Structures are given as C-alpha cells and as structure tokens.
Structure 1
Amino acid sequence: MTMMYNPERLALEVLAEICEPPPSVDYLGWAKRNIVFSERITDHPGPYNEDLVPFFSEILRALSPEDPCNIVSLAKSAQIGGTICANIFTLGSLDMAPGDFLYVHPTEENAARWSKTKLMPLVREMPVVAKLFSQNSRDASNSVLYKERIDGRGAIQAAGANSPAGLSMISPRKQVQDDLAKWQMNEAGDPEVQADSRSKAFFNAKVFKISTPMVEPGCKITANYREGTQESYHVPCPHCGELQELRWENMRDHIDPEHPENAHFVCIGCGCEIHEHHREWMVRPENGAKWVAKYPDRARRHRSFRIWMAYSPFERWENLAREWISLQAGGPEKRENGSGAEQTFFNDWLGLAYEADNKAVDWEILRDRAAVSDNTYRGIVPAGVLSLVWGIDVQGDRVECLLIGYGRNRLRAVVEHVVIDNRAGSHLPGYRVHSGHISEPEVRAALDALIAREWTDEAGRKRTVDMTAIDGNAYTDDVWNWVRKHPRSRVIMVRGGNNENAPPIAQAREYDNKGRPKKQKWSSRFYTFAASSFKLRLYRDFKKDDPQRAGFIRFARGFEDDLFQQATSESRVAEKTRSGHTRYVWKLPEGRRNEILDMLNQSLAGAYRLGIPYWTEEQWDAIEDRLGKLEPPRQGDLEDHINQVQPQLPETPEPTPAPAPEARPARPVRKTLTAAEAMRQLNNR
C-alpha cells in the first residue's frame, strides 16, 4: 500500500508546531494541583491552601512569564511562609518550563541544609516532581548542591553567596536569592551583583529576591524594595469597607499592657476597632483585599512587595502585643540574639530593617554620667551586679584589662581598667615587666594574679570573677600558652567577626586552602563573636540615661577621659568597594584608640559563653540568695574605709621582681562564691 504525503502540508504542520506558544506557566494553579504538605514540613499539613496565604497569589503571578518584570523582591517577617513561595517557583519552573535554575543562600552550608531539609522532602512527597530527578544518591546528577532532570532539560544549582565559584557555574534564566539581607561580601566583591549577572543574558529572566530585613543602612532587601514598586497589602475594614494597609503604629498605639489579648487596629475611615477574628475575612481578595503599588510605573522591570506578621495566620496578634510589651519592660525572660531583642522584633515580627546607631553619643555625656554622686568609685562592685567578666585586649607592648559587671535587666557596669605594660609597677603591686608583651613570664604572672583577685562590693563582700575573655586574634600562640593553664570554664580566647548576621558567639574555625576545616590546638576554647552587632547594641545602650531601662550601662567614678573617648571611638560608615559598590564598615578615625570598645565587646562575648544573657529570673534569684549568705563584712578601721572608697594600688620600688604569688602570706579564708559556681549548684539540684 502506497502512502501519499503532501510536502507543503507537512512543512506547515511543523511550522505551526514550532510557532505554537508554550503552555501557560501558572505557579498558583500548579501549587494547588501538586503540593500536599506533610507534618514534617509545616504545622499546617494538607494541600496548598490559597485561602491561608492569599497575599502570596499575586507574588506567584508576578513570577510567571506573563508578567513582564524581571525582578520580584519580597521583604517579609520571619516564618511567614516565604520559603514555600520560593520553592513553588523553583520546582514549578523545573516541571512546567525546564531550564537551569540557580538558588543562592548566604553560605554553602545554608544551601546544603536547605537542600536536605526543605527541597528534597518536598520533592519526595510530590510525584509530579519526584519523577523528574534521579533518586540514586551515587548519581553525579543528584548531589546535595546540584540536581539535574533525568532528561537533561534543566537543573537546580544551589550555591552560597560566600563562594564566587558557586555563582559562576551556570547561566540560569531563573533564580532565587534567599535571605538576601544576610549576604556578605566575598573575595570577588558583591555577591548580589555576581548572581544578577548570571541571568542578564536572558531578556525574560526572573530573579526572585526574598529575605527578612536586617540592619539599615546597608540592608540589601530593603534597598531592593525601595527600588521596585513598593507594594503593600491593603485590606477592607470589616465595618465600613475602607481599604487600608495594616500598619504597626496603628496597633502599637492601641495596646493595653494589662490586656494584650485585646490587641487591635483602628480603622482609618470609621474609627472602629479591627480585631484578630476579622483577619481571615479581610485578607481574602474576593472581599476586596489587594496589593497597592506606590510606584506602579516601575512594574515593567521590578515589582517589590512587603508583608508582615499581622497578615499571617501563623501568629496571633496577642503574641505580637506581648512581645512588644516584654521588649518595652526589658524583662529578664527576653532571649536576645546577636543583634539585640529590639532589632529582632523589628526584623522578625514587623518585617522592617532596624535603623542602626552608626555613631555613639558624645563621650562627654558618658563622662558626666559617671561623675554623679551615687556612683561607686572604680574598683568597687556596685549594687545590682551579680556576675563579673574580664575583657582583655592584647597589644604588642601591653595588655589591657576591663572588668565589667552584669546584672538583671541587661545591666552592665564598668568596674575597673588595668594596663599591664613596662610601667606595671604602678598598677600591680609586686610586678615589674619590661615590654608588656603577653609572652613575658612577668606579664602572665600579673594576669594570673589579676584574674584570681577578689573584688569588694558595696556591701563589703569579697567577689571573684566568673569568666575571662582574652583577645586571641593577635599573638595567638602566646595567648594560648597562657590560656591553656586555666580552666576552660573560667578563661576563653575570643575574636571579633565581621559578619553582621552571625550568632552572638560561635566556635572559631580555621580552613585550609581547599576550604576544609583545620583542627587547631586551641579550637575548643576559641570563639568568634558578632563584633558589629555588639557595637550596634552598645551604641544604643549608651544613649539610655535611665538606670531602670533595660541595657543601661553604668560607669564607676574615677576613670580618665580617655576611657570614654575610646568607648565611643568608632563609627559605621559607607565604603566603596573596588567594584564600585557600597558596603558598611566600622572605622576608627586616625589618631584615635579603641581598646576600651574592644574590651567591652570581649567581655560581652565572655558573658554569652557563661550564659548570662539567657539567665531567667529564678536563676538571678538563686545567685543573689547565695551572695547574700556570704560572711558579713568585718568592721574595719578608718584607713580601710578610705581605701575602699577610692582604692589606689601602691607603687613598688624599681628593682627586682616581687616574690611569686605563692610566696606571699596566705589570705584569711573567706567564704566566696562566684555567679558561675552558683549556677552550677543550681543546675545540679
């Protein structure tokens, strides 16, 4: 049988097939058809429910090819469901519009964790996606950071912003830049610029930038929000129908501290109260809720959105009000992170960047605050201080030590400042050193005596220091040789980190040329603290002049002006990188010193290692009870009282070194108890 074909018809059929537009890419519809959340992934298991998070629907439409914009950015509160939105964009793209896809996290470690805990569980629970990828862990196309479709038509590359190599491996049409506000400069420059450049070759590229804001100025997601349409979600009043944005100031001004369960907004139209039970009705588009752009003319290139906790079904308004009340009261039950409780509230709850105090108060204000009559003289532990921590800074010709006291309500008190240098005879009785370097035996002996010394408090009780945090960034081997002779529960090495988004304190890590962690002899006792966040908090607390406010910093009487000048010496300023982009760094003016500022932060790192910022009211009570049981002070003579009011360490003759500490006459036995020992006794009960 002979088959007859019409060549012209065949050519037209092929041409029609080629010219046929691709099927519509509908991320919202795809999510409804395919996503079923398990209890392992979310607290709201079941199929994707648009009614639960209706504000994400328009964002998913903006990510589709039908919307002409190339950039979609979302500034949001924490734990509001933004990652789910990003995962729908990622997996929906690999299914409906295959191609290379780049998903960037702040670090490669974050990227690997996302792949294992977020991406793969979702892939395995979605048959339509699971069939696209190999399930063989030994398959080269199925690694933790790279997952290629079986047919080779597309792949997901997960990368860290800290790795320029990871950002240069593929040229994706689509990408997600997750936790953008936490990205830090890498060795090649600005990682956001590097990631953006990977998609510039495509006229129809889609870049989804998503993050909880951090510190402003310098917050990347906030900058992107301002560059775009600046869309906010408007909802109708349940009483009069007036469309309005839910603003934090509206709720804040109507919070009753005695009844946080009555937290509400007030309609800008009719003045009626809007309560939480109205939320489910208000946020639905069928009732009039919609996104409203401040700059709609920018929509062709960049659509930017902001959504915060008040709209979310995952958190109650009462909890939001309680968090604010607790923050204002400065309750000891607060759990602070490296950026402080106030910043955490603005970032995680309100979805707003926290305005940083880039410059400290004038140093004269701190000096005058220390001179008030009810302050103790330096060297005396003031009332309210329940724990003592040394911060020690190591220089080439001296070692400087700052003693800080900690108490309830985040109180900090600067108690004493000691310098060990070639004039140490005027500071430490019995010690004469030559260069003041940490490697000198005399300097180490002086440090031994200093951290073992007892300090008299206002009640006349003898107190010992709970923790010592010494700078280990310079002369590390010399510092380690001194540190290792002391218990790790009492002495640690610390260094400041340059990552504004790092945890308050973390174990220091060293890496070889291949990026593999190196095991150092001091690894278990060396910690990196969030120096920038500590400085931001310190500068905020410097502005507090009410001793009852949470975070108040108290200075003893008798310090020289130089101490206050050093404590306020640095400023956070904008700096242009070689690539022409802006970053924010801490700068020390030429000719100024900053050892006091460093020691304030080093002491706080020691306090974190001890757990002080996390102690509960009951733990503070236990420490105070034990201190109250110490032996009452003996009745001294007039000379003792004079020395207690304004202690001066006697000078020693120039010649020979003093006898070793163990050769000195033994002190009378006193019943002393450190805060750390009190905590250990409490925990062992």
Structure 2
Amino acid sequence: MTRTTKKAAAKLNAAISGAIKRFAPPESLTVDEWADKHRRLSPESSAEAGPWRTKRTPYLEEPMRAFTDPKVHKIVMVAASQVGKSELELNIIGYIIDQDPGSILYVHPTIDDARKFSRLRVAPMIRDSKPLKAKVHDVKAKDSGNTILQKSFPGGMLTLTGSNSASALASTPARYIIGDERDRWATSAGTEGDPWALAEARQATFYNAKAVEVSTPTIKGASNIETSFYQGTQERWCHRCPECGEYSEIVFDAIHFEPEAKRVRGKKVWSLKGGVSWACPACGCLIPEETMRRQPAKWIAENPDAYKKGVRSFWLNAFSSPWTPWEKIVLKFLDAKNDPQRLKVVYNTLLGQLWEDRGDLEDEDTMLARREDYGTRPDGTPVELPDGVLVLTCGVDTQDNRLEYEVVGHGKYGENWGIVKGYIMGRPDTPEVWQRLDDVVDHVYKFKNGRGLKISITCVDSGGHFTQEVYEACRARQGKRVFAIKGKGGDGIPYVSPPTKVPIRDNKKITCWLYTIGVDAGKAAIMAGLKVQEPGPKYSHFNRHPDAGYDLNYFNGLLSEKLVLTSTRRGDRWAWEKLPGHNRNEALDCRDYANAGLKIINPDMDAVERRLRGLEEQPKPAPQRRARTKRSSSSAFDDW
C-alpha cells in the first residue's frame, strides 16, 4: 500500500469512525450496574455528590434490576420521602438514553412540577454523566432540538409533562412511561379522563413497553399507588433479626422509645430518654437502631404470583433510609401527634403509611380488639344475651339483593350490646326473604340462666327500589312491631318523628305506618358512644363469637363515615361523609335504625329490669275509666 493510499485510508477511517461508534452494541448492564459505572450525583441535588453507589441504598438494587428483567413490564414503588425514589427514576432514564433507547413519557402531577424537575434534576444528571452528555445536546445549543420539556437523543426522546395536560398524554406513542408522585396526579386530564389510562394507551404498539409508577402514599382508599401496589408482588424491605434470624419489616408500631416532654415558653418540646430500638415481631427482642442498620435485609413478596403477570411492586418507609435517624422520625411523630394535618404528613412522608382521617374515632383494629366473649351456657351453646341487656331492637337495611340486619341489646343509661349482625340474601320482593326475617324477629334470645327476650321492635328501611314491597311486608307484621322507616339526612332533623300513614301502591284504603328517622342525629349518638372507653353508661359492647358477625367488614362499615364541616351557598353546615376506602355503610345504618327503634318505644328500663328479676312492682292506683268514642280503625300504633 502506497503512502498516498495509507493517507487516504486514514482520512476515511477518521471520517467514518464517529458514525461507526454509533453502531456499537450496548454494554450488557442492568440499571444498577450502569448507574454504578456512569452516574454521578450532582451537587445541586445531593448531599453526597460524586459517583453513584448502589450499596449506599441497597433497597433500590432490586427495583432497578427489575427494569431490565424481560418478564417485567411494570414496576410500582411506594416510598417515603428522601429514600431515593427520584434517583431510581433518574437512573432508569439514564439507562434508557444510553443503553436501550426509546421514547420516554415522564409524567408529573403538573406542568410546573415537570419544568422544575427538568431544570433541577434531569439537566444536572445529563451534564455530569459523560455518556448522557455525549448523546443529549444542551438546551442552549443551536438547533439542538431540545427544550426544557423535551430532550432528544439517538433513538428516542424524553418528554416531560403534567398529569393535567391531555394533549401531551394522548398524542405521540411512547415505549416507556414513568409516573412520578402518582397520588398527586389530577383526577382527569382536562376532560379526557384518567391520566394514567391515557398514558398507557400510548404503549399499545410496543411489545417491549415498560411502565414505572412511583409515589409517596396518601389517603387510605383514595390512593392510586396503593391500588397499583396490590396488583403487583407486594414486596416489603425486611431486615433480619440478630436474635432469631427471622426477616421482618421495620414499622413504626414496632419501634420502642421513651419520650420526655418539657415546656419552653409555654410550648411542649419533646426529647427521648436513651436510644430508639425495634421489637422483633417474631421473638419480641428489643434491638438497637445501630445494630439493625448492620443486619442483612432483602425484599420479601407477599404476592409472588404477580411476577407471572409482569408486575413487581415495592413498599418502603424511612426507617431504611441511610439519611434519616430513627430518633428524628420519632420526634417528628411526637411533635405532630395532636395535629391531624401535620400527622398526615409524618405518616405519608416518613412512616410511609397511608393516612386515614378518622377525626378522633377508633379504627377497625382497635374495635376488633374490643370485642368480648359473652360466655357459654351449661349445654355448651353460646350465651346470646349478656347480663345488663333489658330490651332488644332490630335494624334492617334493604338492598336490591339482600336484607342486612343487626339485633342490638339495650340496657340502662345507654349501655348497649351488639347481639348478632347478619344477611338475608335474596330480592326483597320474594316472600322467602321476609320469612327468614321472621325467624330473626320471632327468635327468643337467651341469657345464661335460660331466660330469654324477643325483639321489641324492628325498623326496616323503605328506601331504594322495593319501597312498596317493604310497606306490604311491614303491614303484614304490625303485630310483631315491624315498621317501615325512612331515613332523612340533615342537621337539626329530630331522631324520631311521629309516624304517618302511607298508602300502599296508591291504594289509600291499604296503608302502613312509616317513621321518619333523622339519621344524622342517630349517627352522632353512635359515634359518641364508640368513644366511651369503659363499660357502663353509653358504652358499646360487641360479641366476639365468630357466628355473631362482628368481623372486620362490620367495623369497616360501622366506622365508614365522619362528620365534616362543608361550605355551601347558604353557609357552613355539618354533614356526614364517607371515609375514603369505606364503600359500604350498611352496618352503620342498621345500628342507626335499631337505636331509633328504642327511641320509638321508649321503654321504662327500671320496670323492665324489675320484671326480668321477677320483682313485684308496687301497686298503682287503677286509672278511672272514661267513655270512649267508637274507633274508626285499629292499628298496632294506636295500641301503644
């Protein structure tokens, strides 16, 4: 080869070498390996600027590796604040740009959030990571094709947008979708509907599409990230106990500390006596924080079968964060514990838990633990009526496919007992359903000594699609004091009003009695009673026997509503609203109707108690008889 030829070949190689490099196969790396090799943390956004080290946050290794798993098409991360979830997203973006390019749709709660994230997190990452800087031109570069919200690179484009931007969510196809702070997204992208559904629709043409959904948890039952988590493998970051070797998640309920409060200028200031430790749920041993931080940890899945569907989900709290001492978490909790709004922030951002704003009401777990064993009779059958019960009432809620009922025992001074909560499945327009209700109403409920009581009054909800059928059934059972009721909401409406006669099927000659119940007043009385902590006046007891029906679903329904102050055109008013995640409130309604029945009959509890004890009542002077006019008609109500 001549010198001239060699020079020409060298020039040709120099000219095409840059282009040929573009055809080099990507490195065989997982996301965490790529980050360890190429990612640098920027000083603007990190207290530990410099090379990325996965071992610093070992809990992020598995979620990053899941992204390169061909069997996984969706990753869900529920995490407290400041545990590195944003770095997880940034590492995935960097990996895509450098190793597996494709169009990325990165969705934030709002456009402003997207702009801020682009400037403060994405741009510094590109600037400080050599492979990314070589592939993504600076926004200021002439004809770069890049803006704050769009960044082009060979093989794809990163588009940042807000969940409220329908046009961005419903236009260009995208292989990758990353949703940040999912629980803060708009309910609807303009008028187009669910933003996540719009975004996922853009992946339809990609067989190798992947989605990443990340968020701090918010409100129980109204959390999108909670829903997504339970569709996946449901993995928790668990530490090994140095005493028994079992792996368990570190949660706040297992954290032990001794608080101490003092007042400084009238303000309470909290401190801790000694350190903070963790109680192993397996062996009960108390382990100091510094010991637990050195223990091995791993992700443990509660629903591993979801991996077959390609969805891996992870839940992480701040107790695993290398930057957050446990003492700081505890003190934040103590400072906020009497302020629901501040406590909600602690639950979401530090404890990594869903918040349920119950006001000052107990939760379901507390009520379950409050249940009592009513005892067993000599023949081995369960005691149905504890001592103290004097009167029984029954509340019935009418649904399209069933009747739900509760039998409630009432004693002196408002003390009450849940006797049985049950269902009668079937349409209320069929006689079999009402015959089975007769079995409940006619049953003799027994004390331990064998004596018994029957239900004094039954109140049946007449709302819904079977109003006339309820009227007919109640008319036929007036002799058993089974009455139709109609609930009426609103502040200031009396709990029980005098009954009225209503025609059945527009026939004024065939009527039944209908009571109007002020349900809001009844709910307030129920919730007030649930706050009473010691057996006695107004205390509510619940039967622990498994056949009694007082299970988690019952308490979820009983505690389904809270009283809130709402603003209207006519001014502020108090109203009962369902708590997020509590879709069924039949248990609350049944108790409300049963209590209304007691109010209707208004029994003399002292007299009932004397009769039950077999005591003789003191004789009363006989009332003077007076002439009565001829009654036009008779009814059970007229006889009271």
Q: What TM-score does the superposition give when structure 2 sets the normalisation length?
A: 0.51
Of 198, 201, 206, the residue aligned with 1:194 is 198
Seen in structure 2, the aligned counterparts of structure 1 residues 128 and 542 have a Cα distance that, compared at 3 Å, is: farther
Q: Secondary structure at the match of 2:300?
A: strand
Q: Secondary structure at the match of 1:354?
A: coil
Gapped runs of 5+ residues in structure 1? Answer: 2-19, 362-540, 547-562, 576-581, 583-685
Q: Secondary structure at the match of 1:102?
A: strand
**Aligned 8 A contact 1:260 1:322 in 2:** no
Of 280, 290, 294, the residue aligned with 2:302 is 294
Q: Secondary structure at the match of 2:294?
A: helix
Instruction: Select the structure with the greater relative contact order (CA < 8 A; seq sep ≥ 6).
Output: 1
2:285 alignment partner in structure 1: 272
Q: What is the distance in 1 between the residues matched to 2:31 and 2:574? A: 53
Q: Secondary structure at the match of 1:215?
A: coil
**Residue 111, structure 1, aligned to residue 114, structure 2:** yes
Q: C-alpha displacement at 1:242, in angstroms?
A: 2.2
2:173 alignment partner in structure 1: 171
Q: Number of residue pairs matched? A: 354
Seen in structure 2, the aligned counterparts of structure 1 residues 40 and 140 have a Cα distance that, compared at 3 Å, is: closer
Q: Secondary structure at the match of 2:104?
A: strand
Q: What is the distance in 2 between the residues matched to 1:180 and 1:261? A: 39
Q: What is the distance in 1 between the residues matched to 2:86 and 2:203? A: 21
Of 272, 281, 289, the residue aligned with 2:294 is 281
**Aligned 8 A contact 2:138 2:144 in 1:** no
Once the two structures are superposed, residues 82-120 of structure 1 have per-residue CA deviations (whole angstroms, 9 ceiling, x without a partner) of: 000100001111100111111100111111110011100
**Aligned 8 A contact 1:360 1:568 in 2:** no
Q: C-alpha displacement at 1:260, in angstroms?
A: 5.6
Within 5 A, what are the aligned runs for 1:548-567? 566-567=573-574
Structure 1 residue identity aligned to 2:242: P
Once the two structures are superposed, residues 594-624 of structure 1 have per-residue CA deviations (whole angstroms, 9 ceiling, x without a partner) of: xxxxxxxxxxxxxxxxxxxxxxxxxxxxxxx
Seen in structure 2, the aligned counterparts of structure 1 residues 544 and 85 have a Cα distance that, compared at 3 Å, is: farther
Structure 2 residue identity aligned to 1:272: C
Structure 1 residue identity aligned to 2:164: N
Seen in structure 2, the aligned counterparts of structure 1 residues 292 and 570 have a Cα distance that, compared at 3 Å, is: closer
Once the two structures are superposed, residues 550-587 of structure 1 have per-residue CA deviations (whole angstroms, 9 ceiling, x without a partner) of: xxxxxxxxxxxxx9993125556799xxxxxx9xxxxx
Of 54, 71, 74, the residue aligned with 1:71 is 74
Of 153, 156, 159, the residue aligned with 1:154 is 156
1:214 alignment partner in structure 2: 218
Q: Secondary structure at the match of 1:341?
A: helix
Seen in structure 2, the aligned counterparts of structure 1 residues 345 and 147 have a Cα distance that, compared at 3 Å, is: same
Structure 2 residue identity aligned to 1:102: L
**Residue 88, structure 1, aligned to residue 64, structure 2:** no
Structure 1 residue identity aligned to 2:193: G
Of 116, 141, 148, the residue aligned with 1:144 is 148
Q: What is the distance in 1 between the residues matched to 2:273 and 2:203? A: 48
Within 5 A, what are the aligned runs for 1:131-530? 131-137=134-140, 138-139=142-143, 141-149=145-153, 152-184=154-186, 185-186=188-189, 187-251=191-255, 254-258=256-260, 259=272, 262-282=275-295, 287=296, 289-300=297-308, 301-328=310-337, 330=338, 340-357=341-358
RMSD: 3.8
**Aligned 8 A contact 1:358 1:571 in 2:** no
Q: What is the distance in 1 between the residues matched to 2:580 and 2:171? A: 33
Report which of the two structures shows the higher radius of gyration computed on alpha carbons: 2
Q: What is the distance in 1 between the residues matched to 2:275 and 2:72? A: 41
**Residue 122, structure 1, aligned to residue 129, structure 2:** no
Q: Secondary structure at the match of 1:568?
A: strand
Q: C-alpha displacement at 1:240, in angstroms?
A: 3.6
**Aligned 8 A contact 1:265 1:274 in 2:** yes
Q: What is the distance in 2 between the residues matched to 1:199 and 1:354? A: 33
Structure 1 residue identity aligned to 2:84: G
Q: C-alpha displacement at 1:270, in angstroms?
A: 3.8
**Aligned 8 A contact 1:217 1:356 in 2:** no
Within 5 A, what are the aligned runs for 1:531-570? 566-570=573-577
Q: What is the distance in 2 between the residues matched to 1:573 and 1:233? A: 27
Seen in structure 2, the aligned counterparts of structure 1 residues 74 and 574 have a Cα distance that, compared at 3 Å, is: closer
Q: Secondary structure at the match of 2:345?
A: helix
Structure 2 residue identity aligned to 1:355: E
Q: What TM-score does the superposition give when structure 1 sets the normalisation length?
A: 0.47
Q: What is the distance in 2 between the residues matched to 1:33 and 1:249? A: 39
Q: What is the distance in 1 between the residues matched to 2:27 and 2:311? A: 24
Q: C-alpha displacement at 1:341, in angstroms?
A: 1.1
Q: C-alpha displacement at 1:239, in angstroms?
A: 3.3
Q: What is the distance in 1 between the residues matched to 2:579 and 2:48? A: 42
Q: What is the distance in 1 between the residues matched to 2:164 and 2:353? A: 24
Q: Secondary structure at the match of 1:347?
A: helix
Seen in structure 2, the aligned counterparts of structure 1 residues 567 and 269 have a Cα distance that, compared at 3 Å, is: closer
Structure 2 residue identity aligned to 1:205: A
Once the two structures are superposed, residues 342-369 of structure 1 have per-residue CA deviations (whole angstroms, 9 ceiling, x without a partner) of: 21111111112212449999xxxxxxxx
Q: Secondary structure at the match of 2:259?
A: coil
Q: Secondary structure at the match of 2:284?
A: coil
Q: Secondary structure at the match of 2:48?
A: coil
**Aligned 8 A contact 2:171 2:202 in 1:** no
Q: C-alpha displacement at 1:280, in angstroms?
A: 3.3
Q: What is the distance in 2 between the residues matched to 1:260 and 1:203? A: 57
Q: Kindly report structure 1 stretches of 4+ aligned residues shifted beyond 4 Å.
A: 20-23, 357-361, 541-546, 569-575
Q: Secondary structure at the match of 1:235?
A: strand
**Aligned 8 A contact 1:360 1:571 in 2:** no
Q: Secondary structure at the match of 1:244?
A: strand
Gapped runs of 5+ residues in structure 2? Answer: 2-23, 261-271, 363-526, 533-569, 584-640
Once the two structures are superposed, residues 381-437 of structure 1 have per-residue CA deviations (whole angstroms, 9 ceiling, x without a partner) of: xxxxxxxxxxxxxxxxxxxxxxxxxxxxxxxxxxxxxxxxxxxxxxxxxxxxxxxxx
Q: Secondary structure at the match of 2:336?
A: helix
Q: What is the distance in 1 between the residues matched to 2:305 and 2:581? A: 30
User: What percentage of residue pairs aligned between the two structures are identical?
Assistant: 26
Once the two structures are superposed, residues 25-81 of structure 1 have per-residue CA deviations (whole angstroms, 9 ceiling, x without a partner) of: 4111110011222332211222112221000000001011x3411110000001211
Seen in structure 2, the aligned counterparts of structure 1 residues 571 and 272 have a Cα distance that, compared at 3 Å, is: closer
1:41 alignment partner in structure 2: 45
Q: What is the distance in 2 between the residues matched to 1:207 and 1:294? A: 21
1:99 alignment partner in structure 2: 102
Q: What is the distance in 2 between the residues matched to 1:101 and 1:356? A: 37
**Aligned 8 A contact 2:243 2:285 in 1:** yes
Structure 1 residue identity aligned to 2:173: S
Structure 1 residue identity aligned to 2:348: N
Q: What is the distance in 1 between the residues matched to 2:70 and 2:287? A: 34
